[in-house]
């Protein structure tokens, strides 16, 4: 090879560049991991494996799948660490895989069914457009806002209730510790979904009464979590639109993951509806991700924020952005307390009680 030939050869990539390209491609393949997990949950493979090892043939029979295709899925699940091959053609769940079982107390199966739901998957298709125009991927794909669409789409409404209920149960014990609920007699959970969070808070506070408020599709009259926690007698279920009115008479109004769903104008409308329903002594408790939590808590905040851009059109806010929204809706921020690795509770009081501003701030 002449010197001139050598000069024409592309430079051999150094290891750093090759690694970076590899990382980019594995991020690109991240969707395959999502799809594998979703298919496994839908086929109920984690429940089929439960505490025993099973052969590929047995699993194919239980899941009514083609044995050859199922084995390929099993190899994929092994690759991402959900199952392990214990002996030739026999599989068992790894400790991580156990959290996909529906019976596991920390199960994330319903959350996977929600976040990988076909409708949400389709909305991500328009992320670049959402970035250009601000219109959510969901509205672009379905011609309706996320919650308006949920009202017409029972499968998404069910996935939402179950998935968020499962997520709420994870934060509930830490919330019951972070907030002194014994100060209150009646807790109104606005946009409380299937009641999972309220049921856990009521179970931890036997003197507390609850009011679960949501739309007709967002909640169920006979909430399973409230019934199963044995607190149904202490809880009323109210169907209401939080843009119009919510029940009066509570001394604490809880909104978990509600304000983040909305851009500023609709978020202000929800807060003002709450303010109108509240006495001057009642407290507002927002349980939310904080964009500027110090020290940083949830590492997936930027990804959650993009999920909101794709679906409902809201965003993860900073503490100052919450303080501003609260001031514009007749409240004053009282405190911000970390709940767990993901959530903070932002407590606010009606502004005339907090000493600055007046209820005239509510328009």
Ligand X SMILES: C[S@@+](CC[C@H](N)C(=O)[O-])C[C@H]1O[C@@H](n2cnc3c(N)ncnc32)[C@H](O)[C@@H]1O
Q: Using CA atoms, how far apart are residues 331 and 81, in angstroms rounded to an integer? A: 47
348 forms beta bridges with 284, 333
Q: Which of residues 243-262 bind ligand X (CB under 6 A)?
A: 243, 256-258, 261
- Closest-by-Cβ residue to ligand X is 218
| Residue number with CB closer to ligand X (59 or 309) | 309
What phi and psi values does residue 252 have, to the nearest 5 degrees?
-145, 135
Nearer to ligand X (CB atom), residue 32 or residue 239: 239
| Residue in the block written with tokens 């997990």 | 37
- Which two tokens mark 49? 């494996």
Of 76 and 313, the one with the shorter C-beta distance to ligand X is 313
Question: CA nearest 247: which of 237, 259, 262, 261?
Answer: 237
Name the minimum Å distance from CB 150 to ligand X.
7
| Region 227-246 residues binding ligand X, contact defined as CB under 6 A | 241-243
Distance spanning both ends of the chain, measured CA to CA: 80
Q: How far is the CB of 51 from ligand X (least distance, A)?
A: 29
123/258 with CB nearer ligand X:
258
Residues 308, 260: contact at Cβ < 8 Å?
A: yes
Rounded distance between C-alpha atoms, residue 302 and residue 266, angstroms: 22
H or E stretch covering 334 = strand 331-338
Considering only residues 169 through 228, tell me which ones interact with ligand X, judged by CB under 6 A. Answer: 191-193, 197, 214-215, 218
Quick one: 93 or 258, whose CB is closer to ligand X? 258
Nearest distance from residue 77's CB to ligand X, in Å?
28
Q: How far is CA 8 from the centre of its chain?
A: 53
CB 247 within 8 A of CB 188: yes
CB of 190 to ligand X, least distance (A): 7
Alpha carbons 197 and 191: distance in angstroms, whole number? 11
Alpha-carbon gap, residue 232 to 210, rounded angstroms:
9
> Interface mask (CB under 6 A) for ligand X, residues 31-60, using x and -?
------------------------------
Q: Compute the least distance from the CB of residue 59 to ligand X, in Å.
A: 33
Reading the block at residue 103, the tokens are 């019976």
Residue 94 or 215 having the CB closest to ligand X: 215
Distance CA(259)–CA(59), nearest Å, equals 43
Minimum distance, C-beta of residue 195 to ligand X, in the bound complex (Å): 9
DSSP assignment letter at 217: T
Would you count residue 168 as binding ligand X (CB under 6 A)? yes
* Shortest reach from residue 41's CB to ligand X, in Å: 19
Which of residues 164 and 178 has its CB atom nearest to ligand X in the complex? 164
Report in angstroms how near the CB of residue 173 gets to ligand X at its nearest. Answer: 15
Site for ligand X in 261-290 (CB under 6 A): 261
CA distance linking residue 209 with residue 249, whole number of Å: 11
Task: Please give the C-alpha separations between residue 323 and each of 179, 283, 286, 336, in angstroms, as whole numbers.
Answer: 19, 15, 12, 10
**Interatomic CA distance for residues 180 and 354, integer angstroms:** 19
How many residues in the shown chain lie near ligand X by CB under 6 A? Answer: 17
Burial class of residue 328, CB neighbours in 10 A (0-12, 13-18, 19+): middle
Nearer to ligand X, 60 or 112 (CB): 112
219 or 351: whose CB is closer to ligand X? 219
User: Which chain residues interact with ligand X by CB under 6 A?
Assistant: 147, 164, 168, 191-193, 197, 214-215, 218, 241-243, 256-258, 261
């Amino acid at each position: 090879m002449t010197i001139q030939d050598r000069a024409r050869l592309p430079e051999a990539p150094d290891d750093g560049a090759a690694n970076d390209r590899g990382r980019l491609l594995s991020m690109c393949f991240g969707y395959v991991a999502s799809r594998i997990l979703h298919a496994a949950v839908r086929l109920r493979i984690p429940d089929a494996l439960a505490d025993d090892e099973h052969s590929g043939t047995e699993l194919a029979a239980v899941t009514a799948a083609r044995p050859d295709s199922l084995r390929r899925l099993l190899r994929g699940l092994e690759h991402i660490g959900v199952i392990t091959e214990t002996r030739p053609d026999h599989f068992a769940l790894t400790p991580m895989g156990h959290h996909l079982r529906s019976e596991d107390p920390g199960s994330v199966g319903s959350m996977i069914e929600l976040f990988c739901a076909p409708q949400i998957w389709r909305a991500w298709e328009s992320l670049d457009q959402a970035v250009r125009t601000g219109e959510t991927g969901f509205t672009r794909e379905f011609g309706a806002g996320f919650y308006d669409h949920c009202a017409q789409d029972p499968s998404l409404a069910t996935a939402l209730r179950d998935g968020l209920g499962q997520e709420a149960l994870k934060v509930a014990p830490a919330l019951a510790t972070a907030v002194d609920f014994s100060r209150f007699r009646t807790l109104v959970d606005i946009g409380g979904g299937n009641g999972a969070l309220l049921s856990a808070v009521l179970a931890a506070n036997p003197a507390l009464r609850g009011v679960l408020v949501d739309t007709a599709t967002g909640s169920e009259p006979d909430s399973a979590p409230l019934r199963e926690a044995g607190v149904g007698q202490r809880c009323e279920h109210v169907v209401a639109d939080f843009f119009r009115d919510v029940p009066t008479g509570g001394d604490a109004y809880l909104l978990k993951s509600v304000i983040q769903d909305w851009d500023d104008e609709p978020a202000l409308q929800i807060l003002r509806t709450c303010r109108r329903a509240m006495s001057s002594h009642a407290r507002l408790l927002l349980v939310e991700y904080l964009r500027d939590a110090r020290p940083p808590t949830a590492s997936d905040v930027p990804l959650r924020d993009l999920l909101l851009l794709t679906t409902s059109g809201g965003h993860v806010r900073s503490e100052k952005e919450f303080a501003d929204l609260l001031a514009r809706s007749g409240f004053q921020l009282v405190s911000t307390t970390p709940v767990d690795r993901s959530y903070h509770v932002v407590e606010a009081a009606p502004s005339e009680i907090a000493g600055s501003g007046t209820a005239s701030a509510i328009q």
